[in-house]
Chain A
């Protein structure tokens, strides 16, 4: 009888350990996915930061009297490049997006600039980078939602709190950013 109870006990403990290991592994793999997704955003943000000096060079002379707009772009870029945490980066990047939107809206007033081949190329690259940031952020937020949900639901919540998992931050979008003025240079 004692033997049977011991066996049953061992089986139960074994099952619990197996479950704990798989729950832990699930959480870890999601955590790595969150980190990778953030890294993807980071790569694209850096790409945008690298493109902006080129943009400033191209428009600088033609838009000499739009100094404040240009200055806003340069400052927003500096701030975004120096951001340390996810919420801080999100805030700074949103400002940069707005400043860029304003700049491209103003370019509309300069026919010479609008047809500049360099600027058209830069515009395609910046527009694509803008989209990439958006999509990378969308994917990041989806993975973060999965990760946070898994930490919050029973029974995974036990492992998550025992092992000290913490919730990841969402990359928030400012409301204004959803209404970025669409810039069209006539090309597709």
Chain B
């Protein structure tokens, strides 16, 4: 493990994120198309060319609008669902946060992100947006109150790391599309339940029941599959953002102690739902699974175990210390 992340690593991560976003969009379109087609099949009992595929066309239109919305309005949707509020410049802690974010924007060489506050006592932070020019960093009121300046800088630097590597693009789009997929799947299931499975008697081109079964299973399982995808995308990013935070602040131990503090509070974040959990620096739902290792945890939890993150940061701290004896104390 190297101490600093090279420019090439960041570029490859940025490319990776753009690629993944395109793949996710494609999978999303495919899913929506399948839902539409399967509804049509159930409605008409067969895939006849003559019958007008209402649901298929409707789903495609819906998917296009939804993709567009997820790209251009993703961050505002996320902010609204979390109940984020703007900074109050009369408040001295908010002013301090603004200063800290400005410092970290300079350290990372990124433009200044917009800053939002979540009125919640549980300490946590998140980033969202599409690119550095349209990025948002949000922290909870609880985070401002429980961390000192160095720790706050480290957490903000972690979020700037997500912005620098364009993780925010993938994560934000995943959030919106994930929400849509579970909505659509609900819709499909409901329409089957009330419509029943109709097969047209004597229809020559009736679809083989096995194909229907496969499509049905796909639609039923899709919310789970897409959630697993979101988690797989999110876990490795946390390590990388931790390393970037260390590079920006040159103080990995501050992030380690911030994570310890965040982890020690067992209060979950009230406004965070499962759909937005992967956006945060530490699992806002405080699920037990995150502390475990093994296949189930690898697949289902959004964050790597906090102990492992802290251990890596401490090792980085040791390396920084060895390289430049007094650089860790500059900030």
Given contacts A128-B99, A178-B329, A179-B326, is CB(A136)–CB(B149) below 8 Å?
no
Bound form: Cα–Cα A71–B30 in Å = 72
CB distance from B111 to the nearest CB of A (A): 11
Contact status B99-A124, CB under 8 Å: yes
Bound form: Cα–Cα A99–B142 in Å = 36
CB distance from A57 to the nearest CB of B (A): 21
Most chain A CB within 10 A, of B108, B109, B326, B331, is at B109
Contact status B106-A135, CB under 8 Å: yes
CB-contacts of A117-135 with B (<8 A): 124-125, 128, 131-132, 134-135
Chain A residues whose CB sits within 8 angstroms of the CB of B108 once the complex forms: 139
Contact status B102-A138, CB under 8 Å: no
Interface assignment of A40: CB less than 8 Å from any CB of chain B: yes
Bound form: Cα–Cα A132–B153 in Å = 12
Contact status A178-B330, CB under 8 Å: yes
Chain B interface, DSSP helix/strand/loop, else mixed: helix
Bound form: Cα–Cα A125–B329 in Å = 20
CB-contacts of A143-188 with B (<8 A): 143, 146, 178-179, 188
Chain A residues whose CB sits within 8 angstroms of the CB of B100 once the complex forms: 128
Given contacts A124-B95, A178-B326, is CB(A132)–CB(B109) below 8 Å?
no
Bound form: Cα–Cα A139–B248 in Å = 8
CB-contacts of A27-50 with B (<8 A): 33, 37, 40, 44
**CB-nearest residue of chain B to A180:** B330
Contact status B326-A132, CB under 8 Å: no
Chain A residues whose CB sits within 8 angstroms of the CB of B148 once the complex forms: 188
Chain B residues whose CB sits within 8 angstroms of the CB of A188 once the complex forms: 96, 148-149
Interface assignment of B321: CB less than 8 Å from any CB of chain A: no
Contact with A along B300-331 (1 / 0, CB 8 A): 00000000000000000000000000110111
CB distance from A90 to the nearest CB of B (A): 15
Contact status B7-A132, CB under 8 Å: no
CB-contacts of B271-293 with A (<8 A): none
Contact with A along B95-120 (1 / 0, CB 8 A): 11001101110111100000000000
Contact of A128 among B102, B109, B326, B329 (CB under 8 A): B102
Contact status A128-B103, CB under 8 Å: yes
Bound form: Cα–Cα A33–B250 in Å = 21
Contact status B330-A143, CB under 8 Å: no
Contact status A132-B149, CB under 8 Å: no
Contact of B103 among A37, A135, A146, A179 (CB under 8 A): A135
Contact with A along B123-152 (1 / 0, CB 8 A): 000000000000000000000000011000
Chain B residues whose CB sits within 8 angstroms of the CB of A134 once the complex forms: 330-331
Bound form: Cα–Cα A134–B149 in Å = 15
Bound form: Cα–Cα A146–B329 in Å = 25
Chain B residues whose CB sits within 8 angstroms of the CB of A44 once the complex forms: 106
Chain A residues whose CB sits within 8 angstroms of the CB of B107 once the complex forms: 135-136, 138-139
Contact status B106-A136, CB under 8 Å: yes
Chain A residues whose CB sits within 8 angstroms of the CB of B326 once the complex forms: 178-179
**Sampled A-B contacts (11; CB under 8 Å):** A40-B109, A124-B96, A124-B99, A125-B99, A128-B99, A131-B153, A131-B331, A134-B331, A135-B107, A139-B106, A139-B108
Which residues on B are within 8 Å of A, measured CB to CB? 7, 92, 95-96, 99-100, 102-104, 106-109, 148-149, 153, 248, 250, 326-327, 329-331
6 further A-B contacts with Cβ under 8 Å, apart from A135-B103, A179-B329, are A40-B106, A40-B109, A124-B92, A132-B102, A132-B103, A135-B106
* Smallest CB-CB A-B distances: 7 pairs: A135-B107, A128-B99, A136-B106, A135-B106, A131-B103, A139-B109, A132-B103
